[in-house]
Structure 1
Amino acid sequence: MPAMGVDRVMGTPPGYRLGWLARLLTFSAHDPCARFLDGSLWWAARTPEGPGTLWLRPAPGQLLASGHGPGGSWLVERADAVAGLRDRLDGFAALAASRPTLARLAGAVGTPRLPATGLVFQRLLRSVLEQKVTGTEAYRAYAATVRHFGEPAPGPVPLLLPPDPDAVASAGYWVFHRFGVEQRRADTLARAAAAAARLERCGDSSETTARLTAVDGIGRWTAAEVVRVVHGDADAVSVGDYHVKNTVSWALAGEPRGTDERMLELLAPFAGHRGRVCLLLEAAGLHAPRYGPRATIRSFHTY
C-alpha cells in the first residue's frame, strides 16, 4: 500500500477495536464498497459534498484518517463518528457485569462501539435487500446491485460507490429480478430510493425511524438495522428477526426459542444498550440450538 498523508489523528480509548466497525460497515469481506485490509478500513460513500473514500488505520493509542475525492473532507470531519468514537458506553460495563454470560463475552471479544455514518440510503439499500432472505441471497443481490449501478470510488483501492438513489428509483423491476430480488423488495427499494433525499435530512434516530416506517415495505426490523449504523443508536433492536429473538432468549434465560415479546422483556434491563447487547451476542458467535433444516437459498432470477 502506498504511503499517504494523514488528514486527522484521533485518540482511541483502551480496548478500541477497528475490527468492530468493519463488522458493521462492510457486507462480508468482498463488499464492493468497503474493504478491511491489513487492519485498516477503506469505506466508500456518497456524501453531501460528493463521492469520497475514507481510510481509517490504527496506530498505538490513535486512529488515523485520510479522505479521498470531493467528499473526502466531509468524511474526515465525521471520521470520529464513523469510527464509533462518539459512541457513549456509559453504564454498559455495569449492566454487562450483572449477567455472567455478557460479562464473559465482553471480556472475550470486547464491547461493540457503533458507528454513526449520517448516510441513510447507503445502509438502507443493504437492509432492504436483507429482508426475509438468507444472508447469502442478500449479499448476492447487494453485490450485483452495486456493480450494476456502480461508479469507481476515489482513492487507490478499487472500490465502487454505493448506487445513486435517483438511478435506483428510476430502474425497472426487471433490473433487480436478475439479481435474485423479487418484486416486493424491488418495489420497496424503489420507494426508499425515491424518498432518500428526505430521509437524509432526518436529524436523529427517532425522526429517521418515523420516516422510514412511513415508506411502504419498511418496518421495525429494517428501521432498526438502519438507525443503528446511521445514528449509532445502541438501543435499536431488530424486532422481527428470525434469529435474534432466539439468541437473546437462549443467552439471557436459557430458553432455546423465544418471541419478539420475550426478547424485549429480557432486554428491558439494558435500556439504552439493548441493540448493543444483541451485537455482542452476534459477534461472540453465540446462537440458540438449531432444530430442523436450514433455510434454503432460492434461485428464480432465470425464470
Structure 2
Amino acid sequence: MTGTVPTVQLELVTKSPVDLSTTLSPLRRGRFDPCHRHEPDGTIWRTSLLPSGAVTYRLRQLGPSVVDARAWGPGAQEFDEFLPGLLGEYDADGAAAFAPEHPKLVDAHRRFPNLRIVRTARVMESLVPAILEQRVHTVAAHASWRRLVTKFGSPAPGPAPDGMRSPPTADVWRRVPSWEFHRANVDPGRAQTVVASARVADRLEEVVGMDRQSAHRRLRAIPGFGAWTAAEVAQRALGDADALSVGDFHLASIVGWTLLGRPLDDAAMVEYLADLRPHRYRAIRLLEVSGQARKPRFGPRTPLVDHRWH
C-alpha cells in the first residue's frame, strides 16, 4: 500500500445497463494477473498507467446501470476521462443495434444483453500481453506476463490487494534485458517485438484518436505485428467491436463447430462472418460468455514450449 484515502471517488450512472464483470474480463491476463484482481464479491481492482501517472482503481457494480469507482495514485485525477470507456459507454449504441440471426447468437445476446466492448484507450497495456500470447499457449503467455510485470512494474498505488503492480512504462519495457525475457520464457522474436514497440510507444498510443482503418494500419507497421495482434489490441484499447482475431490457432475452428457444426479455416471464417460486420468481435464475445463456443478434441493438447532451455 502507498495510501489508504481515495484520491477520487465517483458513482457513474451508465446510459444503459452494463455487465461489469463480463465487460472487463478480456483485460484479465490469467488468474494471477498482477494488474487485475477479481474478488469473490464481484469487486474488480485494476492498475493502469495514464498520461499523468500510475493509478489503481476499484470498481463495484451497485445496480444494472450504477457503478461505484474509486481511484488512487498520480493518475487518479484524470481517471474520470477513462471510466466511461471502461464501462462500455461508447459501445452502448452499437450493442443496441446488434441484431443477429443465427439461433445461438440470438440466444447469447438475449442472455447477455448488457455485455459491452471495453475501451481502455491505453495501447501499450494491451499490446505487450498480446505480443506475449503470439504463437504460444495462453497459460504460458500469462505466466510470462506475470513474471515480467512483477519484476519490472511498480507497486500499485493506494490500498490495492497484496501483489498488485502497475504495468511497466514503455521506457522500462524497452530496457528489459534479453536474458530477463528468456527467464520469463519469452523467445527472442517476441522479446524483440516488445522492445521495438516500446521504442515507438508514443506513436502507437496515437491510434486511440484515429479512424479504425488508420489505427490498424499503424499497428501493423510494427515488425512482428500481424492481423491477429492488431485485432487483440483494437478489441481492448480501442473498443473495436468488429476486430476479428484472424490468425488465431483455434478461433476459426471454434466458430465453425459452434455455428455450423464443422471446422472452418481463417478465410472461410471471414467470409462466413461478413454479414455480422461491424459486430464480429461482439459475436465472438457473446459465444464465449454464453458458454456456447466449442471445439471437439481429436487428440492430445500440443505440449507447452519452454524457451528457457533453448
The TM-score, its normalising length taken from structure 1, stands at 0.92
2-structure distance, mates of 1:140, 1:92: 37
User: Which position in structure 1 is the counterpart of 2:281?
Assistant: 275
Note if 1:245 corresponds to 2:252. yes
Letter in 1 for 2:160: V
In the TM superposition, what whole-angstrom CA distance separates every residue of 1:2-37 from its partner, at most 9, and x where no partner exists? 896862222236652111133112112321011112
2-structure distance, mates of 1:21, 1:90: 14
Secondary structure of 1:78's partner? helix
Letter in 1 for 2:147: A
Secondary structure of 2:157's partner? coil
The count of aligned residue pairs is 300
Moved more, 130-139 or 275-284: 275-284
Secondary structure of 1:86's partner? helix
Please report how far the alpha carbon of residue 284 of structure 1 lies from its aligned counterpart in structure 2 after TM superposition: 2.6
Secondary structure of 2:222's partner? coil
Secondary structure of 1:264's partner? helix
Please report how far the alpha carbon of residue 201 of structure 1 lies from its aligned counterpart in structure 2 after TM superposition: 1.9
Note if 1:80 corresponds to 2:84. yes
Note if 1:288 corresponds to 2:291. no
Alignment of structure 1 residues 1-303 onto 2, 5 Å: 7-12=9-14, 15-37=17-39, 38-60=41-63, 61-90=65-94, 95-96=99-100, 98-110=101-113, 112-158=115-161, 159-202=164-207, 203-204=209-210, 205-255=212-262, 257-285=263-291, 286-303=293-310
2-structure distance, mates of 1:210, 1:93: 27
2-structure distance, mates of 1:258, 1:131: 21
CA distance 1:75–1:179, shift in 2 (3 Å):
same
CA distance 1:90–1:209, shift in 2 (3 Å):
closer
Is the Cα–Cα contact under 8 Å of residues 52 and 72 in structure 1 kept in the other structure? Answer: yes
Return the structure number with greater relative CO, CA threshold 8 A, min gap 6.
Answer: 2
Letter in 2 for 1:280: L
Secondary structure of 2:48's partner? strand
Please report how far the alpha carbon of residue 273 of structure 1 lies from its aligned counterpart in structure 2 after TM superposition: 0.4
Report sequence identity in percent: 34
In the TM superposition, what whole-angstrom CA distance separates every residue of 1:214-256 from its partner, at most 9, and x where no partner exists? 110010000000011111000000000011111111222222x
In the TM superposition, what whole-angstrom CA distance separates every residue of 1:168-195 from its partner, at most 9, and x where no partner exists? 1122321100111111111111111111
Letter in 2 for 1:49: S
Letter in 2 for 1:67: A
Please report how far the alpha carbon of residue 54 of structure 1 lies from its aligned counterpart in structure 2 after TM superposition: 1.9
Q: What value does the CA root-mean-square deviation take over the aligned residues?
A: 2.0
Please report how far the alpha carbon of residue 164 of structure 1 lies from its aligned counterpart in structure 2 after TM superposition: 1.4
CA distance 1:69–1:243, shift in 2 (3 Å):
same
Please report how far the alpha carbon of residue 211 of structure 1 lies from its aligned counterpart in structure 2 after TM superposition: 1.4
Structure 2 stretches of 5 or more lacking a match? none
Is the Cα–Cα contact under 8 Å of residues 60 and 68 in structure 2 kept in the other structure? Answer: yes
CA distance 1:209–1:94, shift in 2 (3 Å):
closer
Please report how far the alpha carbon of residue 107 of structure 1 lies from its aligned counterpart in structure 2 after TM superposition: 2.9
CA distance 1:191–1:23, shift in 2 (3 Å):
same
CA distance 1:20–1:69, shift in 2 (3 Å):
same
2-structure distance, mates of 1:76, 1:24: 21
Letter in 2 for 1:114: I
CA distance 1:169–1:200, shift in 2 (3 Å):
same
In the TM superposition, what whole-angstrom CA distance separates every residue of 1:106-125 from its partner, at most 9, and x where no partner exists? 23344531111110001101
Secondary structure of 2:165's partner? coil
